[in-house]
């Protein structure tokens, strides 16, 4: 089975674009919902933004 990865948006300061990120509770609810029909559903943060790679 193919794994599914949820990667919620991480707002980037100074981008000039209004981005509303989902709450952690929303992301976990989506993951739980998807796990009813899929075996592998994972949540991964956008680490490239966190470590300054963008």
Asked whether 10 and 21 are in contact (CB, 8 A), the reply is: yes
Residue 42 covered by a domain? yes
Question: What distance in Å separates the CA atoms of residue 46 and residue 10, rounded to the nearest whole number?
Answer: 6
Residue 16 covered by a domain? no
Residue 14 covered by a domain? no
Residue 39 covered by a domain? yes
Residue 32 covered by a domain? yes
Q: What is the pLDDT of residue 18?
A: 79
Report the predicted TM-score, pTM, of the whole model to 2 decimal places. Answer: 0.71
Q: What is the pLDDT of residue 39?
A: 94
Question: What distance in Å separates the CA atoms of residue 35 and residue 42, rounded to the nearest whole number?
Answer: 9
Residue 47 covered by a domain? yes
Distances (CA, A) of 47 to 19, 24, 33: 17, 16, 24
Predicted confidence pLDDT, tens digits, the chain (54 residues): 899 999 988 776 776 777 888 999 999 999 999 999 999 999 998 776 556 665
Residue 41 covered by a domain? yes
Decide: helix, strand or coil at residue 42: strand
Residue 18 covered by a domain? no
Structural domain of residue 28, as residue ranges? 1-8+23-54
Provide the domain count of the chain.
1
Q: What is the pLDDT of residue 20?
A: 84
């Amino acid at each position: 089975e193919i794994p599914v990865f949820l990667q919620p948006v991480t707002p980037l300061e100074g981008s000039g674009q209004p981005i509303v990120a989902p709450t952690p509770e929303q992301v976990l609810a989506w993951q739980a919902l998807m796990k009813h029909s899929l075996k592998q559903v994972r949540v991964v943060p956008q680490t490239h933004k966190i470590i300054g790679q963008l």
